[in-house]
Structure 1
Amino acid sequence: MKSFEHVYRLHRLMKRSRYPVPFERVMSELECSRATTKRVLAYLRDVLGAPIETSREPRGYRYTDAAYELPGFWFSPEELQSLLSLQQLLASFQPGLLDEALDPLRDRLDQILKSQNLQTGEAGRIRLLRAAARPPGAHFAVIASAVLQRLRLKIDYEARGTGQVTTREISPQRLVHYRDNWYLDAWCHKSNGLRTFAVDCVRQAAALVAAAQDIDPVKLDDELGGSYGIFSGAATATAVLRFTPARARWIAVEQWHPHQQGIWLPDGSYELSVPYHRDDELILDILRYGPDVEVLGPPALRQAVAARLAQAVARYAMGG
């Protein structure tokens, strides 16, 4: 596998370089000795037929044919990890759900993995544990088809909190797989705004003839991905959380949000700042860490978390 990684790195380096690459840079990129670097260059040129030319001025190596690609399928370890994760995600669909549409994709993915000498029959050795995952429901195929065909949908949607069912006409924008569950970002023509719907809460769904209204992806990200959680909206506040030194080592490498900021404090604790709009999901995640986290601000969030903790203590006191 190490030799494969060397060949892959060298090929990517040559593809993205506009000018001849000096030998020293090749050696640094491959992170190997001078002799090994020469062997990798020779293998890429002589065995794989790469159009490598040695330039005198400036001195270095370059491809004479920018369209050259490695024969067969070649992937970095990170890309292989993504492919294996995709294979497991496809396997997680309940029987009968999108089987006809997904079978060709599953077969193609198996071919790619076999080309890398990975035994697809051993997929069970890679586990994706799904915590609190909900079945996507009977209407997932209709919804996914409308997203890809850019058609409007008429849905009956049940609000989980109240149990109220409303009928809406929506323009689906994208499906989102978040924390092992499926959500639909859509323009709601009833509310005249962007909304996120839990797919498993859709009780009826029918594709309409009318074309979906397309929303600029930048606007989608700004309004639906700008703050914390799946039902986010544009950020209106920033949560400042301080984690104890014992928990800080884990939190420092976690991503709670793409725009988060974190700093180490002198006592070894870690301060994390996260933009948010609705605090429901954020409060639940804060409560997971119990005494290892303190909300420094804003005051409303601090009071909300403290109230939830007090309610939990009171419930245990009543039970005693």
Structure 2
Amino acid sequence: MDRYERILSLHRILSSSRYPVTVARLQDELGCSRATVYRDVAFLRDGLMAPIVGDGESGIRYDTEDSGRFELPGLWLSSEELHALLAAQQLLSRSGGGVLSSALAPLQSRIEKLLSEHSSGDAWPVERVRVIPHRTRRLDEHVFRSVCSAVLGRKRLAFDYRARSTDEKTRRTVSPQRITHYRDNWYLDAWDHEREGLRSFSVDRIAQARGLDEAAIDVDESELDRHLGGGYGIFSGTPKGVATIVFSAKAARWVADEHWHSQQQGRYLADGRYELKVPYSAPRELLMDVLHYGSDAEITAPQSLREQARTLLSLALSKYEG
């Protein structure tokens, strides 16, 4: 355990202890010598102005009047926490298609500096963190920043939107509610003032975004979840049914560990196959995911969804005939 980690652990021990802590206990928990404990206590008290009272004989503790207000200054994390934080930063910057890189650059440089201090100047091997985007769509960085600013600043937003399904272009004025990252792409959940309802917008289809001075109206979180989070995936809404899909024993090894929906129900069948039940609203995304498994998946209910899958498979097969 290096000094940063010992100071952090010492602070946590003293913050959580109701009674004075002996030097012997600190030696055992910090895994260091008696002299090192005294040096760390002195640094915490004199260098970081921690409200330490007591001595090595009777034990030491934080002054009860000040302990609740004292926190370690700055970004004080263990090396493992710093490694995890920098790895998460790399994940965000790379999976975001570059739109987050500039915003997170100051944080990355600060974490790398702290890691360098931990590891005696050794460079952090960023290339060891690899993120491979999957079907990531191109984003306009200005639009992304405008959307995020409106969401966090609680201001209304006006923009042009070209729907992917119809290619129709419309002008929207919305009260942003939240920004959602789903399957490597970004979506805006918002209250559409002209349509007087909640809508989800794919951020890559937004253009000419402009923040307005008027305050956004706030929709209750429970209503957002009920309207936008109750169905399957990003094409959500109030669930209209529950789909039952049976996967082969081979596919079960993957599907049993996958998260499809917050209210999904799954069970192994006697022959090793896996039955998954998923609430859904619009069936399009659910059908795409099921057909992804090919012959290893079968929709058994409801019959209407089963017929839609049959139609899609027949159309696909017709492309290969003749």
Which TM class, normalised by the smaller chain length? Answer: 0.7 to 0.9
The answer as to 2:126 corresponding to 1:123 is: yes
Q: Quick one: distance in 2 between partners of 1:11 and 1:290?
A: 55
TM-superposed CA distance for 1:43, in Å, is: 4.8
* Distance of 1:295 and 1:211 partners within structure 2: 46
Conserved 8 A contact 2:156-2:213? yes
Larger Rg over CA atoms:
2
Partners of 2:14 and 2:277 lie apart in 1 by 40
Give the Cα separation in 2 of the matches to 1:115 and 1:19: 33
Aligned match of 2:224:
220
Structure 2 gap segments, 5+ residues each? 20-26, 45-51, 53-60
Aligned to 2:109: 107
Equivalents in 2 of 1:174, 1:44: separation in Å? 51
TM-score normalized with structure 2 length:
0.75
Q: Is the 8 A contact 2:112 2:124 kept in 1?
A: no
Contact conserved, 2:175 with 2:216, CA < 8 A, in 1?
A: yes
Aligned to 2:24: none
Correspondence list, 1:184-195, <5 A: 184-195=188-199
Q: Any conservation in 2 of the 1:87–1:109 contact (CA below 8 Å)?
A: no
Residue 135 of structure 1: CA displacement? 1.4
Quick one: distance in 2 between partners of 1:257 and 1:8? 39
Q: Classify the secondary structure of the residue corresponding to 1:139.
A: helix
State the match for 1:162 in structure 2: 166
Amino acid at match of 2:128: R
Determine if contact 1:8/1:76 at 8 Å carries over to the other structure: no
User: Is the CA contact 2:139–2:203 (under 8 Å) kept in the aligned structure 1?
Assistant: yes
Within the alignment, does 1:295 sit opposite 2:289 as a pair? no
Which residue of 2 is the match for residue 254 of structure 1? 258
Of 212, 215, 221 in structure 2, the residue corresponding to residue 211 of structure 1 is 215
* Deviation at residue 121 of structure 1 after TM alignment: 4.3
Percent sequence identity over aligned pairs: 41
* RMSD, aligned CA: 3.9
Cα distance in 1 between the residues matched to 2:18 and 2:167: 63
**Separation in 2 of the partners of 1:252 and 1:209?**
48
* Aligned match of 1:85: 88
Structure-2 separation of matches of 1:298 and 1:202: 35
Secondary structure in 1 matching 2:257: coil
* TM-fit CA distance, 1:14: 9.5
The count of corresponding residues between Structure 1 and Structure 2 is: 293
1:59: which partner in 2? none
What is the distance in 2 between the residues matched to 1:273 and 1:119? 50
TM-score by length of 1: 0.75
Which string of whole-angstrom CA distances, capped at 9 and with x for unpartnered residues, describes residues 194-233 of structure 1? Answer: 1110011012211111011111222212221122111211
Structure 1 equivalent of residue 49 of structure 2:
none
Q: Deviations over 1:44-71 (max 9, x none)?
A: 99486599xxxxxxxxxx9997758789
Counterpart in 1 of 2:136?
Answer: 133
Q: Secondary structure at the match of 1:316?
A: coil
- Deviates further, 258-267 or 102-111: 102-111
Deviations 1:130-170 (A, max 9, x none): 11101122411211111121110111100111111011110
Q: Does the 8 Å contact 2:96/2:184 carry over to 1?
A: no
Q: CA deviation at 1:113?
A: 4.9
**Is this contact kept in 2: 1:171–1:214, CA < 8 A?**
yes
